[in-house]
């Protein structure tokens, strides 16, 4: 009974957190429209995206180091590369595509850190993560960012739907808002898994 109640309360809390996430997304969009009349490259939405993916990557990299979970180096490294990609507007001031020259060394470093602990331990720690609820949330967030936001922001589809009334800022708001929602889910997954691993430590002590 206690376990069931704890499970229900936990998932209800996550339901409320998703509500907060929706409010965050709409709030950032509102602020961009209010102050800039559209979604600029360095507006509230873009900065919120960068902050969330940066924190998410940092959490997984910290867990990989703190808990010696080599598989999490791969997860954190992948998210770190996504963060670097989000900063492409900054790296493009050097030259177009410069972000890749930063992301590749980061990816290689994380792969080497995972390889250092051995293939068996890496697979074991990845399997442990994939069994957790946080993995499902992370996958949902990644699919939202990398697939759904791209599909819903497909320009020809918007032009077909809106015809002569097509206005690029409407498409951009929907696309970037969806992307921010995905990054928020990734952030929740990182926090959830951090709480899970840290509670394990408390239980063993």
Q: Which pLDDT does position 110 carry in this prediction?
A: 95
Q: Which pLDDT does position 149 carry in this prediction?
A: 92
User: What's the distance, Cα to Cα, between the start and end of the chain in Å?
Assistant: 25
Confidence of residue 2 (pLDDT cuts 50, 70, 90): confident
What is the three-class DSSP state of 131? helix
Q: What are phi and psi of 170, to 5 degrees?
A: -65, -50
pLDDT at 42 over 90: no
pLDDT at 91 over 50: yes
Residue bearing the bigger pLDDT, 161 or 40: 161
pLDDT at 63 over 50: yes
Model pTM?
0.90
Which pLDDT tens digit goes with each residue over 103-154?
999 999 999 999 988 889 999 999 999 999 899 999 999 999 999 998 998 8
Q: Which pLDDT does position 201 carry in this prediction?
A: 53
pLDDT at 99 over 70: yes
What is the three-class DSSP state of 176? helix
Write out the two tokens for 25. 């997304």
Q: Which pLDDT does position 100 carry in this prediction?
A: 92
Q: Which pLDDT does position 163 carry in this prediction?
A: 84
Q: How many residues does the chain have?
A: 205
């Amino acid at each position: 009974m206690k376990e069931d109640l704890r499970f229900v309360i936990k998932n209800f809390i996550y339901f409320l957190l998703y509500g907060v996430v929706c409010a965050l997304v709409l709030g950032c969009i509102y602020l961009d429209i209010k102050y800039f009349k559209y979604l600029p490259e360095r507006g509230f939405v873009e900065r919120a995206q960068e902050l969330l993916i940066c924190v998410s990557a940092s959490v997984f990299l910290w867990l990989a180091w703190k808990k010696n979970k080599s598989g999490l180096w791969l997860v954190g490294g992948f998210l770190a590369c996504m963060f670097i990609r989000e900063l492409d507007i900054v790296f493009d001031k050097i030259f177009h595509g410069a972000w890749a020259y930063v992301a590749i060394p980061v990816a290689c470093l994380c792969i080497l850190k995972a390889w250092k602990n051995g293939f068996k331990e890496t697979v074991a720690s990845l399997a442990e993560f994939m069994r957790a609820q946080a993995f499902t949330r992370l996958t949902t967030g990644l699919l939202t960012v990398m697939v759904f936001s791209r599909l819903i922001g497909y320009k020809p589809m918007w032009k077909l739907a809106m015809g002569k009334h097509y206005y690029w800022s409407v498409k951009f708001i929907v696309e970037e808002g969806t992307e921010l929602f995905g990054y928020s889910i990734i952030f929740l997954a990182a926090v959830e898994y951090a709480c899970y691993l840290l509670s394990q430590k408390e239980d063993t002590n």
